[in-house]
Structure 1
Amino acid sequence: MSEDNSNLIHVYLDDGDEPIVSYRPPVRFELDTTQLEDGPHTLKVVATDASGHKGVRTIPFEVRNGPGIDVEGLQDNDMLEGKVPILLNAYGGAKEPFWEPSRAETPAPVPTWAWVLLLVVVAWSAFYIAQQWNAPDEFASSPTYSLFTGEGEYAQPAGEAPSRSRANIGATLYRTSCSSCHQGNGEGVAGAFPPLAGDPVVTDEDPTRHIEIILFGMQGKAIEGVEYSAAMPPFAKQLSDEEVAAIINHERTSWGNDAPTVTAEEVQKVRAEGD
């Protein structure tokens, strides 16, 4: 007695001649893709009714049980020239239930625009803090932050050595406004920024020219036969009379210089004459 093949469902995989399963409908079965290679496959279902007529349905599918692969530097149908750097990463997989998530994070360089934005934010923040920050009230009158003494006067009379607090203020202002060019030791930079140690203008008994240079700037001046090409910027708008006096007094009493000091009133007079 022959086997009745009518009203059956035969399931074929890829180009196989023999069905992987044959059942009478309805049927539910499990396709084990772990036994298949990753890539495209085809499932063909052939159903036969009682009269012997066949219906065929082909279902293409793709298996991906192996590690996922990430490619940086190359995309489908790219046209390439020369040497192309390519970064590959693989992660996960059906047979790897406990995999490290960090493997899925393909490393990539920080984009240039992000670095530029960061630098702009940092520069703006520094500028804003420098312009807007004020010392707390409890420190505002200390020598570190205050430009005035407790009596409300800043600069000492001409010819007198500056007090410790005034000298500290002058040194601080010099460091923040002048030392990047003239250097902390007052030696300057050869051919660019003149030295202040022993400079005839700084050691002159008459401080007028010294005050004028700090207030109004200078460029292209030969000092003792040496040409200095870099420009000295004017500080009239950035510094008060008291601040200019403090810087001048620091320069006239430092690095071996021993010249008479100045007062804020002298600075104010030169400023008014130059306006």
Structure 2
Amino acid sequence: MKQIITHVTHYRYTAPVTYSIQTLRLTPRDDEHQRVLRWHIEAPGALERQVDAYGNITHTLTLNRPHTDIELRVVGQVVVGALARGALGGEDSRLPVHAYCVQTALTQADDTIQAFTRHALPDGLNTPDDALALARAICDRVAYEPGMTDVTTAANQVLAMGHGVCQDHAHLFLACARGLGVPARYVSGYLYTTAEHAASHAWADIWLPGAGWTSVDITNRQFASECHCRLAVARDYDSASPVRGVRNGGGDESMAVTVQVQTAAQQ
């Protein structure tokens, strides 16, 4: 599937920012099943390109002059191939698989999460079908409801609240898998869909014996497919977020994001 993607992020500040630095993970990964045809990031300054420890393409934007807003505009085309039951092919794997067994502040498997996992998967997490069963159990327990959580909400809080978004579903999935000692990682990216809220999306990859990395869209209770364009992978949102930065000054911050994903047939 050829996806045509437009992604605009606009930060506004109530007072001048004297210095800011942003890390942008806004360029799709070069994986076996997806290929970038063209891609352009428009930013209010020079961008320094790197590849991070997870194999993600990143850009650093540094602004040393006073500013009261930052607009980042991305436009591009990506061809994404079909995935058989979510199975991923070759990729830029810079870390050993078991690096993704490490729990983080957002994906700690406490007693409540471990009990939930045992109930959802009494025979363990061994196959792609088990991964789908876990996704279904998470969605049954945690209803999709925007505005109830934020980027600091940890997996155990999500389970207790029973509400969240795709990011929260992914973190809970990672906590359950890692609690069983199964490697799993967070994925940020785009989803082609007719559902308005889901163009910017998050899901998870899990490493299974005999299957390798298998990609699962927890929120939609399905394997990832040619509808999913991958931007970044990491242990959790903190290291895979599309835009992350620090600043001096600026007062209060507001952010507006618009994402549009179309197919070539729609053009």
Is the strand fraction higher in 1 or 2? 2
Q: Under a length normalisation based on structure 2, what TM-score does the superposition of the two structures give?
A: 0.26
Is the helix fraction higher in 1 or 2? 1
Which structure is higher in RCO with an 8 Å CA cutoff and minimum separation 6?
2
Q: Under a length normalisation based on structure 1, what TM-score does the superposition of the two structures give?
A: 0.25
The structure whose Rg is larger is: 1
